[in-house]
Chains A and B, each alone.
Chain A
Amino acid sequence: MLRYFLRRLLIAIPTLLALITISFFMIHAVPGGPFDGNRKATPEVMANLNKAYHLDEPLYEQFGRYLWGVLQLDFGPSFKYRDYQVSELIFRGFPISVDIGLWAIAFAALVGIAIGTLAALRQNSMLDYGVMTFGMVGAAVPTFITSPLLQLVFAVWLRSFPVAGWDGGWQHKVLPIFALSLPPIAAISRLTRGSMVEALRSNHVRTARAKGLGLRLVVLRHALLGGLLPTLAYLGPATAGIVTGSVVIERTFSIPGIGRYFVEAASNRDYTMVMGTVIVYGALIILANLIVDLSYSLLDPKVRYD
C-alpha cells in the first residue's frame, strides 16, 4: 500500500510534466497574444514588451525558461495584472476557492449520499421519485440561474444572508456554498441510488440480513461500503473542479477566488496565468485521483493494486 502510494507520487512528476509541456505549446499555438489590445502600440513599444517578457525568443527557449522557473516554484509575472506574480494572485485567491469548494463538496457528499441511500431503500416510492426529480432539476438547472435565484429569495426577500461580497465571515459563504453544491448533490444522489439499489440486492447483503443483522447496520456496513465505489470515483475529479472555483458563482456573489482566472486568463492570453491555473488544477486532479484510489481499497478489501 505504502509502496503503491510512493510510486504514484513519483509518477505524478512525469504526468505533470507532460501536462505542462502539452499545455504550453497548445496555448502558444493559438493565435493572438497578451499585448494585442484595442490600443495599438507602436512597433518599438511592442518589440520592447516582447523582449521584456521574452516573447521574442524561439518557443523552445521560452519553454525551457518557464520550466526552469516552475522547478524553482517561480510561475512568472502575470501578463495582464502587471506588477503581480502569478503565484501571488493564485495564493491570494486559492484559499478562498478551497474554503468554499471544500464545504460545498462535503455538503454535497453528505446530502447526496444520504438522500441517494434513502431513495434506494424506498425504491419507486414517492420519496424516491421526489429525490430523483430534485436530482434531475439540480443537474439540469445551470448555476447561472440558481445563483441569482438564491440571491433573490434568501438575500433580497428573506434577508437571511448578504446578497454578495466577501469578508471571510460565514454569512457570506452560505449562499455560494449552497449554489456550488447543487450540481454535485444531483450527481452524487443519483449515482448513490443506482449502486445502492444494486448493492441491496446483492448476495452478501442478503446474507447479512438473513443472519438477523439490523437494517441500519447492514445498510451502513455492508451495502454502503461496496455501493459507494462509483460515487467515490465521481468525487475525485469533481472535488478538483469544485475547489478551483466557478467563474459564474464568483461573479454572481463577488468572491475573490481563482475560478475567474480560468476564463479571464484564456481570453487575455495571459500565458503565465493560464499555465498557473493548469498546474494547480492538474496537480489537484492527480492528488484527488490518488486519494480516491487509496480509499477504494479501504472500502472494498478485494480491490488490490499490484
Chain B
Amino acid sequence: MTDAGIEAFGAAGREAAEAAGGKIRGGLGRLRRNRMAVVGMVIFGLIAVACVIGPALIPFDFTIQDFSVISDPPSLTSGHLFGTDDLGRDLAARVLVGGRTSLAIGLLATFVAVVVGTGFGAIAGYFGGAVDQVMMRLVEVLFGLPFLFFVILLTMLTGRGILAIFVAIGVVSWLTIAVIVRGQALSIKQKEFIEAARAGGMKPFTIVRRHIVPNTIGPVIVYASLLVPEVIIAESILSYLGLGVQEPQTSWGALIDAGAAAMETQPYQLLFPGSALALTLFSLNFVADGLRDAFDPKDR
C-alpha cells in the first residue's frame, strides 16, 4: 500500500495497516524518511547498476590485453579512464566486473551469516542449559577447524569457483554473530516483557522469533556492516591461494591485492578498486544505520 493510500484511510486505517503485518512496511517507511539512509541506498544502487551494465558500455573488454598501454595511468585521450593494469587490460572494465563478484559474495554471504547466526544464537541463548551447551560447543568446534583444508575439500566437492568460496565463507562467518546474539539473548530473556510473554502462554519459538530476535537487531546490523568488507577481503585471499575466482575473472579484493603490490609506482591501480570498495562500504554503512534505527523495537 502506498503512503497516499494509507493517508486516505486516516489515522484508524494507518493503525490497522501497521498492526496487520505492517511491521515491515512501517520499518521501510521510517527507513525512507531517514535522509542519509536514502542517500546510501541511492549510491549503492548506482554502484550495483554500474557493475551489472557498465562493462557492456565500456569499449574495452576486461580480458583483452593491449601491450601498447601496459600500466598506463588514467587518461581521457586513450579512453582508459581508470588506466590499465600490468597486462594492459582496461582497469575501469576490471573494476566493474570485479564488483559483480565482490558484491555478490559480500552481500549474499553476509545475509546468510546474519540469518543463520541470529537464529542459532537466539535459540541457544533463550533455551539455555543443555541446549546452549551443545550449540555453543558446536560453534567452538567450527571455529577451530582448519579453514584452508575445509576450503580445499569443498572445492573437491563443488569444483573451483564462486560456489565453493561462498559456502566456505558462509560456514565460518556466522559464528561470531551467533556468539554475539547468544550473549544478547541471555540478557534479554531475563527482562520483564519476556516473562510476560511466557506467562501469557506464548510458545518458546514464538518468543524467540517475536521478542528475542528483534531485540538483538542493533549489534547484528552493526556486525553485518563489518562483515561485508571482511568477506570481500577473505574472497581475495582465497582467490590468491588459487581456490576461488581465477584469472582473467577478478574481484575487488583481487584488484586491491594486485594494486597494493604496485602501490609505489602505479598508485591508481590501488586507488580505483580501493575507492570502489570504500564507497560501497560507506553507502552500505548509512543503509545499515538506517535499518537499525528503523527496525529496532526499542526505538519506537
Contacts and interface: CB of A to CB of B under 8 A. Distances in A.
Interface of B: 128-129, 133, 136-137, 140-141, 143-146, 148-150, 152-153, 156, 175-176, 179-180, 182-184, 186-187, 190-191, 218-219, 221-223, 225-226, 229-230, 233, 236, 256-257, 260, 263, 270, 274, 277-278, 281-282, 285, 292, 296, 298-299
Nearest to B270: A145
A236 B140 CA distance: 11
A263 B179 CA distance: 26
B176 A190 contact: no
A102 interface: no
Interface stretch (A83-91, A131-139, A210-218): A131-139
A292 B136 CA distance: 13
Contacts of B233: 142
B222 A26 contact: no
Contacts of B257: 144
A226 B184 CA distance: 10
Contact of B149 (A19, A27, A136): A27
B146 A266 contact: yes
A51 interface: no
A294 interface: no
A252 B149 CA distance: 25
A229 B183 contact: yes
A132 B286 CA distance: 10
B143 A237 contact: yes
A140 B263 contact: no
A202 B298 contact: yes
A300 B186 CA distance: 10
Contact of B146 (A27, A202, A236): A27
Given A137-B278, A142-B256, A234-B180, 16 more contacts: A22-B141, A23-B146, A27-B149, A30-B149, A136-B281, A140-B281, A187-B226, A195-B219, A198-B218, A198-B296, A230-B184, A234-B223, A237-B176, A237-B179, A296-B187, A303-B186
Contact of A11 (B137, B219, B236): B137
A237 B281 CA distance: 24
Contacts of A195: 218-219
Nearest to B145: A23
Contacts of A148: 260, 263
Contacts of A201: 298-299
Interface string A41-69: 00000000000000000000000000000
